[in-house]
Amino acid sequence: MSKITGTGIVVASGDVLTLDESVPSHDLGELVHLSDGRAFRYVLAGGTDLVRGNLIQSQAQATDSQSLIVAAAAIGALEITTTDTTTVTANEVAGGWVLVTGEASTGRGQLLRIKSHPAATAAVVTLTLEDPVQVALTATSQIDLVHNPYNGVIQNPTTATGSVVGVAISPIAASQYGFIQVRGVAPVLAQGALTIGTLCVASNGVAGAVELSTNASTEAQQPVGTATTGVADTENGAVLLNLA
């Protein structure tokens, strides 16, 4: 078991360093701290096993779930129905959010958590919300469906298709649940030598690795943390993560 520092409350259903379960015991994204400064978030692995010590990304962005026009919805409504069509599996975006977007959208800027929704194949979809609509939506309002970043996580690719969310600390099997590390010292795969005290970013040359941020090109890649020791190329070395 692992506990939240300072509260004494046991929140993890098992050892955060080895948990690999088929039935979820936590909310996706739930944060657990250890007393040594490490922190972990609960995730669902995507279609392939997670590799210990590899950098992990959220699932690839689904562009067909962006800028969807919706039917009018009153303040306090707990359902939003699109009038544009999209394709989603049942509850694919549950635990994620409706983001009201678009320059001319009434109610722009709202972020509303999704409770559930049915499957849709090139069809409209009704989203049941946990958060009520705060500003009424009109028939010209547009939304994006934003997946929970901890749902369906994958090895970080060399070309970003989502956001870096952590480092695998155990080989969580495909479609299984467990924890990845987001803060504190972690054993991360290196592309090129890492220099102690230097900023590390997501590698664009080796999937699942980090590299040093040394020039304008690498500075554009997502920051991950700081090397806490010198690390040789292709080895796993100590990186102080700052992803929570």
| pLDDT per position as a tens digit, 110-128 | 999 999 999 999 999 999 9
Residue 231 burial (10 A CB sphere; 0-12, 13-18, 19+): buried
Predicted local confidence at residue 191, as pLDDT = 97
- The answer to whether residue 10 scores a pLDDT higher than 70 is no
| pLDDT per position as a tens digit, 157-194 | 999 999 999 999 999 999 999 999 999 999 999 999 99
* Contact (CB, 8 A) for 190 and 233: yes
Predicted local confidence at residue 8, as pLDDT = 39
Q: DSSP letter at 65?
A: G
Cα separation, 163 vs 172, whole angstroms: 19
Cα separation, 93 vs 238, whole angstroms: 34
* Contact (CB, 8 A) for 203 and 209: yes
Q: Strands, E, within 54-162: which ranges? A: 55-57, 68-69, 79-81, 86-88, 97-101, 111-116, 120-123, 126-129, 142-146, 151-155
